[in-house]
Amino acid sequence: MLKDKRIVVTGGAGFLGSFVVEKLKERGCREIFVPRSKDYNLVQSDACKRLYKDARPDIVIHLAAKVGGIGANRENPGSFFYENLMMGVQLIEEGRLYGLEKFVALGTICAYPKFTPVPFKEENLWNGYPEETNAPYGLAKKMLLVQSEAYRQQYGFNSIYLLPVNLYGPKDNFDPSSSHVIPALIKKCFDAMQEGADSITVWGTGRATREFLYVEDAAEGIVLATERYEKSDSVNLGAGFEISIKDLIMLIAKLTGFKGEIIWDSTKPDGQPRRCLDTTRAEAEFGFKAGTGFEEGLKKTIEWYRNARTEKIL
């Protein structure tokens, strides 16, 4: 039962975090602390110490991260590695010293090897090097799994490690300099229609495949794991399907109403060739199964973005 726990949600004001906070409130949680980066720069150890002192948490759900799409990863490999590593490592260490009941670490699908057999199984996580364009980010987040396992073994520290696939949904990041593929493509289609353009250009060849998890489903999976899962073995969170980027943009074009030409810039990277998760462990361990159909989730995301543009929020 979480309702009587004091819970810190790092990144709780962000895209995924805001949905996790809502799921916690639905379960009756009253003491939820969301640290803001202007008050707690979690890359710095003093800020991590102060967070534990101020919030006095029973549970920490660590969602804060420096993230972006392929372009952002290529431009910021050093800061993506350093900031993600330092936030997680220091929060876990300070949690151990503080006597935290439970730490929930969020990893990334980018931690998997570049040529992982599909569907990705958790036991294949160490069988190769990640895809080069996002390896620094993926490896930084992967170290939290090493720390989680080592701290449970040596100190009996209760931490879990979840591996969510690519997320999408309302309130996503639509900034073209740092957005992921779905919001980037949605924005391209709307911008083209607004400007009267007869084509859009998309990175890569379109042959790469991806799996996508609706953000509200991801939030439910994280909260279920917080309630029910007590092991350091990594767990995939996904929807259990894959779609090619070519098919994805055709679907987004149809749902947004864009009728122009799709031009592929094959000089730009595709990223990892395929991504699709084996999700059986999450269902077996804590009863999680994605409930939102992909086209349904895309419609909700597109509708939210259309309204945000109309209201000039974005």
Catalytic residues: 137
Residues 6+ apart with CB under 8 A from 216: 19, 169, 292
Give the SS3 label for residue 220: helix
Q: Nearest Cα to 160, choosing from 174, 148, 142?
A: 148
**CB-count burial class (<10 Å; 0-12, 13-18, 19+) for 33:** middle
CA distance 212 to 210: 7
CA distance 195 to 294: 28
Q: Nearest Cα to 156, choosing from 95, 84, 107, 106?
A: 95
> Vertex 42, ends 110 and 83: CA angle to 5°?
40
